[in-house]
Structure 1
Amino acid sequence: MTSVSVLHCVCLIFFLACSADVEAARVVFNVMNGGAIADGKTDNSKVFENVFNQACQSSGRSVILIPGGTYMLRPVVFKGPCKGRVVFHVVGTLIAPSDMESSATDHWITFQYLDQLRIGGGGSLDGQGPSAWGQNTCSRSSSCKPLPASLKLDFVTNSRISKLTSINSKGVHMNIFACKGLELDQIYIKAPADSPNTDGIHIGSSSHINISDSMIATGDDCISMSPGSTNITMTNIKCGPGHGISVGSLGAQPDEEDVGVLTVRNCTFTGTQNGVRIKTWARPYASNVFDLTFENINMVNVNNPIIIDQQYCPGGNCQKGDSQVQIRDVTYRNIWGISSSKVAVALDCSQSKPCQQIQLSDINLLYHGPGGPAASTCFNAKGVADGRQQPPSCV
C-alpha cells in the first residue's frame, strides 16, 4: 500500500471515529461502495435506494455514509419501517435534477414510516430551484400544483435532523407531515427573497416538534404551521428574508384539525414581510387556534411585526365572508425592534368569532418612517395589555 493510500485510510478512520453517529453504528454503508458516482451528473437514485434498503434490513444502528462530492439524485423515497435505527450521514452535496419531468412530482427526497431516524452530517441539499421557479403559478391560481419539496418527512417519529443545509428548493425546503417527536437543530436554509412558495419548514398534522438554533432565509414563510400542528417549539431562529413565522393559513377546507400549544421564543426577524403571524381564510369552515406564545423576539425592519389576519386572501378576488376559525389564548411578550410600516401591531379578527384572551406584554416597536410614530390597529380582538406598550395598545 502506498503512503498516500495509508494516509487516506488513516484520515477516513479518524473521521469515522470522530463522528458520534458513525462511531455508534453497527454497520456503515458507504454509497460509494454501492456504486455511487459523485460527478454531479450521474443519477444515483437507484444506488441510494439500494444502499438504504440494505441499511434498513440491518439490526442495530446503521449509517448510510455519503462522503464529500456532488451526487445527483432524481426523486426518491426511502421507506420503512426498518429493523434497526438508520442514520443518513450527508457530508457531500446532493443535487436535484433540473428537467421538467422532475418538477411534476411533489417531492425530491422523502423519508416515510421510520422511527429513530437521524439525518445530518454537515452536507447540503441543492434543489436547483431556479430551473423550476418560472413554472410556479400559485400567484395566479389558488389551485396551483406545488413544486417539489426538497426534503419530506411522512410518518416519521422520535427522530432528529441536525447540521444540514438546504439551498434553493424548488418548493418547500422541508415538509413535515404526520410526524411526532422530531428535533431539528442547526438547520441552514437559503433561497432568494423572491423565490416563490419556498417555505423553509412546513408542518402539518404533526406534534411534539422542536426547531432550534437555525438560520432560514427564503422567499416564503421561514416556518409555517398548517392544520394539525400541535406542541411545536421554535427557539433561537434567525429568519430573513422571508414572510416570517406563520400559523396558517387555516380555514380553507372543512374538517381541518385544530392548531395549538405553539411557542416561538428568542428569535430574530430581519427584513421580513411579517414577524409572527396568524392567518385564516374568511370561509365557513370552523376550527380552533389556541395556546400560542411569542416571546423575547427582536424585529429588525419588519413590515408587519405582530399580525393576525383573519381575512387572508393572497391572490385577491376572494369571496367576502367571515372566518370561523376561533383564535384564543395568544400571548405576545417582550417583543422589540423596528417596524418598517407604521402599523406595527395589527390584530384583524373575525367578527362572528372574535379573538379571545389576547395578551400584550412589554411591546416596544418603533417606526421611523413618514407619518410616525408606530401605531396599532385592532378589530374584534379581546384581551389585556400590561408593561410597556409602544405603540399604544388597542386591546
Structure 2
Amino acid sequence: MQNINKNLTLHILIAMVLGVIVGRLFSLGVSETDDTLINLFVLNLSLKEFFVEGLFNVGGSIFITSLKMLVVPLVFISLVCGVCSLNDSAKIGRLGAKSIGLYLFTTAIAITFAISIALIISPGEGMNLTPAQDYQAKQAPSFAQVVIDMFPSNPINAMAEGNMLQIIVFSLLFGVAMALSGSAGARIASLFEDLNKVVMRMVTILMGLAPYGVFCLMAKLFTYLELAEITQLAQYFVTVLLVLFVHALITYPSLMILLGKLNPLPFLIKMKDTLMFAFSTASSNATMPITLNTVTKKLGANNSVASFTIPLGATVNMDGTAIMQGVATVFIAQVYGIDLSFADYVAVLITATLASVGAAGVPGVGLILLAMVFQQVGLPVEGIALILGVDRLLDMTRTAVNVTGDAAVTCLIAKSEQQLDESAFNASDKQLELIEENNSKTV
C-alpha cells in the first residue's frame, strides 16, 4: 500500500488537471446554439450524456459516497478509543474547551481579515448587478435548540443520519463508560483498537483510488461551470480567494509558531494530499478520514486528541465560510449602495463567529449563516443569489482552508497536552516510511 500512495500527490494533481481539461472540452457541446463540429459530434453521438452524466457522474458519486461511508464508523470507533485511553474526565472537558476556544478564535480572525481586505479592495464598487433568482433564506435554529439536539434520543438513528454532534456526544459518553468499566471495558477497548486499525486500512485503500474519483468530480464540475459568471464577479471571486490564501498561509502558520513553537513548513507540506481531497470533494465531512489519517500518521498527533478535535472541527470550524461571509457582506453592501457603520461590521464579526457553532451540522450551513449575517445588518437577503453562481468553486477552496484549520488546531492542542510526537511532525515523508517499515518488521 505504501507503493500505491508514494506518488499520490502527483497522481491527484494530474487527475485534477485532466479533469478540468476534459470538462471544458465537453462544455463546448453544452450550448445548442453553438453550431460547431465538436458540438454536433458531442450532441449527435450523446458522448456528453454517456461520459458526463454517466461515467463521470457515477465515478465521482461513488468516490464521495465511499468517503462518507467511512466517516461515521471512523468517528465513532476512533473517538471511543481516544476517550477510553484518556482515563480522565477532566481532560475531556479541557480538550473541549481548548478546541472550541481555538476554533472560535481562528474564525474571528478569518472574518476580520475578510472584512478588512474587502473594504480595501472594494469588490462591489460601481457594479449594478441584479439577482438572477430569488433566494429564500432558511431559518437557522436557536442556540438553545442546537444544544438540546446535541444529545441523541437514538444513537443508531444519529449514525444513520450522520449527525456529527450527536455522534460525538454519544462516543464521548460510551468511551468514558468503557474507561470506568474495569476489565469488561478493557476487553471491549481492545476490540475497538482492532476495529480502528481496520477502518484506517480502508482509508488507505480508498486513498489509492483517489485520482480516479478526483478526475470524475473535476470533469463533471467543469463541464457545467459557468465561467462567464466568474468573469462578471471577478473582483469578488479574487478577493475571497486572496483572503482564503492569507488565512491558510499566514494565520495558521503564525499561530503554530506563536502558540505551539512548531515549524509550519512540515505541516503545510504534509497537508498537500489532504488539501487536494478537500478541494475536489468540497466537503469537510467527506475529507475527515483523510484528515485524521494525516494528523495521526504524518503529523504525530496522538489519536486521543485527534479523534476528538478533527470530528469537532469538521462540524463547527467555519473559517472558510466566515471569510466568504465577510467579503460577501462588503460586496453586497457596495452593490446595493448601502453604507454599513463600524458597529455593523462588529455585529457581523460577532454574529458569524458565534453562529458558526450554533448552526453546526445544519445542511446548507454556509448560506444559512450568510442569511443570518445579512439580516443582522439590514442587507437584502436576495443578494445571496448574486454570488451563488461562483460559490461552488469557492466552496472547494473554503473546504481546503477549513481542513487546514482542523489539522492546525489539532496539532496545537496535542502539543499543549504533550500528545504530539514532534520527531514525527518534523520528519519527512521518506523518514516516516522508513520508521513505518522498521515498525512493521519489528512486529
TM-score, normalisation: structure 1: 0.21
Higher relative contact order (CA 8 A, sep 6+): 2
TM-score, normalisation: structure 2: 0.19
Quick check: which one's strand share is greater? 1
